[in-house]
Structure formats: structure tokens, C-alpha cells
Amino acid sequence: VISSKEALFRNGHQILTAIVALAICSFGVSANGPDLDSGKVLRGAYLLRAAGCVACHTDFEHGGEFLAGGRPIETPFGTFFTPNITGDPDHGIGSWEEHHFVTAMTRGISPDNTHYYPVFPYTAYSGMRLRDLSDLWAYLRTVSASREPNREHNLRFPFSFRRTNWVWKLIFFRPEIHPIDRTR
């Protein structure tokens, strides 16, 4: 026979375990955050690393915050600085909607209809499946926001004029559309 104290002790451990598990699962996710049960966040975390987002958007060399940008990319056209892609609404992508993210990733166009420079590899991401982009977006929504401001690119003339990017896109950019391979 189990005494009431023993039953309370056993139930207390179960309740404490459940509370700790819930806290771990919800860490960094807002009330309007992604559906954790669907696995979207886990797939998104995997895709973030597989696509090279962490290596580009985290300035490890200078101790930068996770995905807060600032990493310099030296090119013959000048120096590009990767942007903050955390959930900060002022310096990151926190004010974006999912469709803004999909358009940026597949068409190289920002929410304010500015053309991104092709140093952002949207040309390679244009063939990503919508499910993968949605999963990536779900994960990004869980990342802690950083107030790290974006740095201006330091580009040579005439490349410093972003408005000319559409010409490059017209000549060179062909969005990749990959049919779903159901055998994989």
C-alpha cells in the first residue's frame, strides 16, 4: 500500500517533469509561434544549417550574435555585409510576413520591392519547395531577436546603385523550378 505522501511525491515528480519538458519545448517561441508538434521548427533548424544561413548571417570572426548579420563578404565589386535575420522588427526580419520571406528567398525582392544583390544566393534558393521555406520561416520565428543594426555595403561605382540590380536579374536570373520527386 502506498501512503499519501509517497503518492504525492511520485505525482509531484511527474508534474515537475511535465513542466520542465513544456518549458524546454516552448523556449523562444511566442504565443503566436509555430506549431512545434508538426516538426516544422526542427526541419527549419536543419535547413538553416544545410543552406549555409548560419555561416553567412553570423559574424563568428568578430563575436557576432547568432544570425545578427554583419559578416563582411569581400568581392571585386566591394564589400557586402550580411543582414540581421533575427526577429527584431527594426533591424531584422521581425516585421516580415511569411510571403515576404518566400519572395526574398525565391525572387530576390525585399518587402519594400527593392532588388537584393545576387551575393544573397536567392538564385540558388529559388528552387526550394514551399514546405521547406515555410519550415525555415517557422524556425527563424523562434530565434531570439537581436538589436544589431545592419551595416551599409561598401561598393564601388556603379555597383553602389541598387536600382541597377534588375538589369542583372533580367539578363542572368532564371528562377529554378524543381518538380517534386516522389521517389526520394
Give the confidence band of 183 by pLDDT, cuts at 50, 70, 90. confident
Q: Pick the more confident residue, 152 or 13.
A: 152
pLDDT of residue 107: 93
Task: Quote the pLDDT of residue 3.
Answer: 59
Spans of all domains in the chain? 39-172
What's the predicted TM-score (pTM) here?
0.74
* Unique residue bearing C-alpha cell 548571417: 57
To 10 degrees, what angle do helices 40-50 and 130-140 make? Answer: 100
Q: For the purposes of burial, counting CB atoms within 10 Å of the CB of 105, is it exposed (0-12), middle (13-18) or buried (19 or more)?
A: buried
Structure confidence by residue, pLDDT tens digits, 132-157: 999 999 999 999 999 999 999 999 99
d(CA 106, CA 24): 33
Summarised one tens digit per residue, pLDDT across range 26-79 is: 444 444 444 554 689 999 999 999 999 999 999 999 999 999 999 999 999 999
Host H or E run for residue 78: strand 78-81
Angstrom distance (rounded) from CA 130 to CA 135: 9
Starting at the earlier edge strand, list the strands of the sheet with 154-155. Answer: 72-75, 78-81, 154-155
